[in-house]
Amino acid sequence: MITLGIDLGSRKVKIMLMEDKKIINKFMVNTMAFYRDYCSYDGKIMVDLKKLNIDKVDKAVSTGYGRNNIDIKLFKPITEIKAHVYGAIYSTGLKDFVLLDVGGQDVKVIMVEKGIVTDLELNEKCAASCGRYLENMANVLEVPLLDMFNFSDDPVELNSTCAVFSESELIGKIAEGYSLEKLCAGVNFSLYKRLKPLLSKFKSETLLLSGGASKNSALIRYLKKDYEKVVVIDDAQYNGAYGCCIYGKNFCQ
């Protein structure tokens, strides 16, 4: 049985194919390109699986912002919370943890006890603590995003609540002559500071990380001070798509 899981994120669409328990294919498409090149619209958005080189699918499950717009005849939509929790449980084997998912535009903190969601916090109104913020700041610093993630020592102080004001604050620090390492660390630390109030409500020994920002090793270093165990989920960016596959395989009628 082949299950297709699609996680429609704000920056990337993550696609995964699973045959029985084995992942047989996974890839990402930019969100804009996905809608433009692989979808057509007929009342509902129809995904052209052939264009995605996907032949045979027995079950298809979608999550993410666009989940309710996708061709519902084929796809079973599930909430992002559920998709990410199933992804986390099945990829780590853990049942009690706090899951932090930092995506392109949103942050989810989900408390899982006995394998079930018992509490959650989502960012609202503002996306200053998300992946897109990191992209913008890396652009200001003119460094590749992944390089910026390496620095955590001696961060410069960045205090703005607003992601746009943070850019001008960062430019001010550049003008003051701080080293690139300290500036990069400052950006990473500012992300950590914004996530901390969301996380402080959830007490657990284990923190799982998913989403694009889990590539941020500086962030992981900061979080390790607060939790006994910080685990980055394998293929963290595909966690939602993997959760969709798991749901399709185990729970979909």
Partner 1 sequence: MKKIGITTTVPIEILIAAGYEVVDLNNIFIMSNKYAGLIEKAERDGFPSSSCAFKKGVYGAAMDNDFKEIVGVTEGDCSNSKALEEVFRMKGIKVYPFAYPSNHKLSDLKNSLDHFMNMFKVSLGEVEQVRIRLNKIRNLVKKIDELTYIDNKATALENHIYQISCSDFNGNDHNFQDELRNKIKEIKSRKTIEKKLRLAYIGTPPMTSDIYDFVEKFNSRIVYNEVQREFSFPRGINYKNIYEQYYDYTYPYDIEFRIQEIKKQIKQRKIDGVINYTQAFCYRQIEHIIIKESLDVPILNVEGDKLNVLDARTKLRIEAFLDMLIDRK
The binding site for partner 1 (CB under 8 A) comprises: 79, 81-82, 85, 110, 113-120, 247, 250-251
Quick one: residue 182, left, alpha or beta (phi over 0 = left, psi -120 to 50 = alpha)? alpha
Q: In sequence order, what E strands does the chain have?
A: 2-8, 12-19, 22-30, 39-42, 44-47, 59-64, 75-77, 97-102, 107-113, 116-122, 206-210, 229-232
> For partner 1, which is the closer residue by CB, 83 or 230?
83
> For partner 1, which is the closer residue by CB, 120 or 180?
120
> For partner 1, which is the closer residue by CB, 60 or 183?
60
Work out how close the CB of 125 gets to partner 1 at its nearest, in angstroms, rounded to a whole number.
Answer: 14
Positive or negative: CA dihedral 207, 5, 64, 190: positive
> For partner 1, which is the closer residue by CB, 112 or 220?
112
Q: How far is residue 208's CA from residue 229's CA, in Å, rounded to a whole number?
A: 8
Q: Looking at the DSSP assignment, which residues form a beta bridge with residue 5?
A: 16, 61
DSSP code of residue 43: S
Here the tokens at position 162 are 């607003």
Work out how close the CB of 112 gets to partner 1 at its nearest, in angstroms, rounded to a whole number.
Answer: 9
**Residues constituting the chain:** 253
Work out how close the CB of 19 gets to partner 1 at its nearest, in angstroms, rounded to a whole number.
Answer: 21
CA distances from 176 to 137, 154, 170 (A): 17, 15, 10
Work out how close the CB of 107 gets to partner 1 at its nearest, in angstroms, rounded to a whole number.
Answer: 15
Here the tokens at position 103 are 């995506």
Q: How far is residue 196's CA from residue 211's CA, in Å, rounded to a whole number?
A: 17
Work out how close the CB of 118 gets to partner 1 at its nearest, in angstroms, rounded to a whole number.
Answer: 5
Work out how close the CB of 78 gets to partner 1 at its nearest, in angstroms, rounded to a whole number.
Answer: 8
> For partner 1, which is the closer residue by CB, 71 or 80?
80
> For partner 1, which is the closer residue by CB, 33 or 122?
122
> For partner 1, which is the closer residue by CB, 66 or 248?
248
Work out how close the CB of 117 gets to partner 1 at its nearest, in angstroms, rounded to a whole number.
Answer: 4
Q: Using alpha carbons, select from 93, 115, 83 the residue that is nearest to residue 211.
A: 83
